[in-house]
A and B are shown apart, each in its own frame.
Chain A
Amino acid sequence: MQGPLLGVAGFGAVLLLIALRVPVGIAMGTVGALGYGLTYGWSSLAFVLGRAPFDSAFPVSLSVVPLFVMMGVFAGRTGLSQSLYNLVAAFIGHLRGGLALATIGASALFGAVCGSSIATAATIGRIALPEMRRHHYDDRLAAASVAAGGTLGVMIPPSIMFVIYGLMTENPIGKLFVAGILPGLLGVGLYMGAVRWVTWRHAGMGPAAERHSWRERLRGLREVWQVVLLFGVVLGGMYLGWFSPTEAAAVGAFGALLLAALGGALSRDVLAKGLLETAGTSAMIFMILIGASVFNFFVDATGLTQSMIQFVRELGWGRLEVLAAMCALYILLGCLMDSLSMILLTLGAVYPLVKSFGFDSIWFGVLLVTLSEIGMITPPVGMNLFVLRSVADIRLETIAKGILPFIAADVVRIALIIAFPLLATWLPGRM
């Protein structure tokens, strides 16, 4: 076996190892190394294995990854999320399904200071789920709104996923961040629509909570100034050219630590746990990056990408067919593996196809991240579903039953992004 066929077998081998509990980064790296050795000889492999880890962490632009992770971790550990939830619940909690709507809103606001879907779902889930249970919300709606809301953390800037996509495809991270704003807001609207639809059909699933006075609402507004400040400085600074995305990450991490310290929330315990959480998440992301780097050496060596482009051309497919096939591929893969791994595993092969068909790379980044969000909430490997199971001990089946309206909302969002590319390209075009 050689050439493109070996490349296809490599993808199969990675999926097999992943199914056998091998961590995703290790699976990609091991198959990549063996495949590269078979293709180019074992002496060349020594250079790849020696350089890949170094080159996967050395570029200065990669400093945004651990620093944005740190920003999100400390924003979540210092009470910002509670203030956000209280604020949104004060305004709309009295509506039918209002606390689920508040969960979506608070997740979107928290996503503005945290670039991770899992962290957003876990942080908001710890606050929102007990509150919804206290108000006799159905577990299906409560858990699904947290899981779906968590995905907004990936789309609303700053987003770790956009950073990785930008670095792998050499697209400007600042533009990608800005491109995610409108689709992110669209996601908020559609998810809220899904909640309203569910509670319109089954009123008992999301009873109205008590109405808050305007005084309480204004007090809530005063409590979230920190989030507004942090988001404003990080994104505004980039948009206005005060600093680069790399520097924005440092400003965000420093700001989150500073606000926590000034607010008296940065105890020794919080600091230690926050640092270890940042370390663990960063190590996990970079392990996948290293594995993907080795695997992509192998995929390049097999010539799979060029063969794939040629194959699609020979099929006579147009842009829409290619797009539909890619959407189907990512939705299917999203059911089987986590979104970051899915993107890193496939992007090296898929991106040249995207470019060869003339798709806008910023727009495709937004589409790809939206598709990966669906993967976060689709069973059996929707990472947010697992997070909820550990946060609130809710059965996977229960969450899966409630998640369907939100997946439908995501499908509508993807259709709109495809039909109206300006949703993703208009704002970055004005930078």
Chain B
Amino acid sequence: MNLELDSDPIFRIADRAARWLAYTGMALLCGAMLVQIADIATRRTLGFSILGTIDLTQLGVMGCVFLSMPLAFLRGTHVGVEFLTDLLPAPLLGAVKLAAGLIAAAFMLALAWYGLLQAQIALAQGDKSVTLGIPMILYWAPLLLGTLASAATALIAALGALRRTEPG
């Protein structure tokens, strides 16, 4: 992380929020992992499977994937190619970084918006998971929260990158 960004209150708040979202996602993944381990253990020793292992694993992975995304945007973890534009003069480089960040924010916002429409359909139809009957809206929740928060962190990261490339 950049020192200048570290001292920015908005970045600090966003980083803390994104970290806790990521921890929550990882807790869900660890939960899914433990359910699978328990399922293997009971299947091989006692001869029965834990009901709903697949439902719970899917929920864990959805949480892990989407709740981790805002942090990845904020810390620049997503794969990108920088060497071609690194040679640009500072003002132009700043503009390129801002444009890239805006595109990322717009795309994530589009995913959140259209995801919301699909989630509303799932909610209205009362969709449930196959085995445990978990309402599907719970699977959509991390997606909606994660994509929306990612749009915000992509924007914050882009503005931070723009500030770092400003002369002086």
Q: Is the CB of A70 within 8 A of B81?
A: no
A131: which B residues are within 8 A, CB to CB?
Answer: none
B143 & A53 in contact (Cβ 8 Å cutoff): yes
**Is A54 in the interface zone, CB < 8 Å from B?**
yes
**Distance of B110 from chain A, by nearest CB (Å):** 6
Residues in B neighbouring A50, C-beta threshold 8 A:
114-115, 117-118
Which residues does chain A contribute within 8 Å of B5, judged by CB atoms?
none
Interface flag for B54 (CB, 8 Å): yes
Residue of A nearest to B118 (CB): A50
B139 to A, closest residue via Cβ = A58
Q: Give the docked Cα–Cα distance between A281 and B77 (Å).
A: 7
A284-B57 contact in complex given A22-B100, A57-B65, C-beta closer than 8 Å:
no
Knowing A30-B103, A254-B34, A282-B64 touch, does A60 contact B81 (C-beta < 8 A)?
no
Residues A275 and B40 in contact, CB atoms below 8 Å apart: no
Could you tell me if B58 and A21 are in contact, using CB atoms closer than 8 angstroms? no
Q: In the complex, what distance in Å separates the CA atom of A23 from the CA atom of B140?
A: 24
The listed residue with most A CB atoms (<10 A of its CB), out of B25, B32, B77, B118, is B77
* Contact indicator per residue, chain A 236-261, by CB within 8 Å of chain B (1) or not (0): 00000011001100110110000000
The 8 A CB mask of A48-61 against B (1 = contact, 0 = none) is: 01111110011110
Q: Given A26-B103, A254-B34, A276-B19, is A21 in contact with B85 using a C-beta cutoff of 8 Å? A: yes
Q: At the interface, yes or no: A381 with Cβ under 8 Å from chain B?
A: yes
Q: Interface readout for B31-57 with A: 1 if CB under 8 Å, 0 if not?
A: 011101101100010000000001001
Do A20 and B32 touch (CB < 8 A)?
no
In contact, A58 and B62 (Cβ under 8 angstroms): yes
Q: Is A221's CB within 8 Å of the partner chain B? A: no
Contact B80 A23 (CB under 8 A): yes
Query: Contact between A21 and B117 (Cβ–Cβ < 8 Å)?
Result: no
Let me know if A326 is at the binding interface, CB within 8 A: no
Instruction: Kindly supply a per-residue 1/0 record for chain B positions 80-113, scoring 1 wherever the CB is within 8 Å of any chain A CB and 0 otherwise.
Output: 1111110000000000110110011011101100
Classify the secondary structure of A's interface with B.
helix
Contact of B100 among A20, A57, A62, A67 (CB under 8 A): A20
Contact residue among B36, B68, B71 (Cβ-Cβ distance under 8 Å from A246):
B36
B81 / chain A contacts, CB cutoff of 8 Å: 18-19, 21, 24, 336-337, 381
Using A23-B78, A284-B79 as known contacts, say yes or no to A276 and B65 having CB atoms under 8 A apart: no
Which residue of the partner chain, among A21, A49, A54, A282, contacts B110 with CB atoms under 8 Å? A49
Asked if B61 is an interface residue, CB under 8 A from chain A, the answer is yes
Number of interface residues of A (CB under 8 A): 59
A372 within 8 A of partner (CB): no
CA distance A20 to B94 in the complex (A): 11
Closest B-chain residue to A291, C-beta based?
B107
Q: Flag whether B152 is at the interface (Cβ < 8 A).
A: no
Query: Are the CB atoms of A54 and B65 closer together than 8 Å?
Result: no
Asked if B72 and A53 make an inter-chain contact with CB atoms under 8 angstroms apart, the answer reads no
A410 within 8 A of B: no
Given contacts A63-B32, A247-B40, A275-B22, contact A19 B68 (CB under 8 A): no
B114 — which chain A residues lie within 8 A by C-beta?
46-47, 49-50
Is B118 touching A58 in the complex (CB atoms < 8 A)? no
The reply on A351 being an interface residue by CB < 8 A is no
Cβ distance B93 to chain A, nearest Cβ, rounded Å: 9
Complex contact B36–A250 (CB within 8 A): yes
Chain A residue with minimal CB distance to B81? A18
Q: Measured between alpha carbons, how far is A21 from B84 in the docked complex, in Å?
A: 8
B78 contact from A275, A287, A381, Cβ within 8 A: A287
Measured between beta carbons, the chain B residues less than 8 angstroms from A22 are 80, 100, 103-104
Contact in complex: B78, A58 (CB < 8 Å): no
Interface pair A283/B80, CB less than 8 Å apart: no
Q: How far is the CA of A275 from the CA of B22 in the complex (A)?
A: 8
> Which residues of B (100-140) have their CB < 8 Å from a CB of A?
100, 103-104, 106-108, 110-111, 114-115, 117-118, 139-140
Interface centre among B34, B64, B81, B143, by most chain A C-beta atoms within 10 angstroms, is B81
Residues of chain B within 8 A (CB-CB) of A17 are 103
Q: Is the pair A275, B26 in contact by a Cβ cutoff of 8 Å?
A: yes
What are 7 A-to-B residue pairs whose CB atoms are below 8 Å? A20-B100, A23-B78, A26-B103, A26-B107, A33-B107, A70-B33, A243-B40
| CB-based closest 7 A-B pairs | A279-B68, A23-B78, A50-B118, A250-B36, A50-B114, A283-B72, A283-B68
Instruction: Identify 17 new A-B residue pairs, CB closer than 8 A, beyond the known A30-B107, A57-B66, A67-B29.
Output: A17-B103, A19-B85, A29-B111, A46-B114, A51-B118, A52-B111, A53-B66, A53-B115, A63-B60, A247-B39, A247-B40, A276-B22, A276-B26, A279-B64, A280-B71, A282-B65, A283-B77
Chain B interface residues (CB < 8 Å from chain A): 19, 22-23, 25-26, 29, 32-34, 36-37, 39-40, 44, 54, 57-58, 60-62, 64-69, 71-72, 75, 77-85, 96-97, 99-100, 103-104, 106-108, 110-111, 114-115, 117-118, 139-140, 143, 147
